[in-house]
């Protein structure tokens, strides 16, 4: 994931086998209509 730049994510983790990425989103993110992302 060298070329990925965060915008909505505050951090991410790659599993040891490289098959799963866990993305931690920033708090307070909203959809374009203003509703919170849940």
pLDDT in tens, 3-22: 767 788 899 899 999 999 99
pLDDT of residue 1: 53
- Boundaries of every domain in the chain: 1-29
Q: What is the three-class DSSP state of 16?
A: coil
Q: How far apart are CA 18 and CA 37, in angstroms?
A: 27
Q: pTM surpassing 0.75?
A: no
Question: Please, which pLDDT band fits residue 2 given cuts at 50, 70 and 90?
Answer: low
Q: Facing residues of 13 across strands?
A: 22
Question: Please, which pLDDT band fits residue 38 given cuts at 50, 70 and 90?
Answer: confident
Count the alpha carbons within 13 Å of 21 in the hemisphere toward its beta carbon: 7
pLDDT of residue 15: 97
């Amino acid at each position: 994931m060298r070329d990925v730049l965060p915008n909505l994510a505050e951090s991410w983790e790659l599993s040891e086998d490289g098959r799963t990425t866990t993305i931690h989103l920033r708090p307070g993110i909203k959809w374009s209509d203003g509703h919170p992302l849940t």
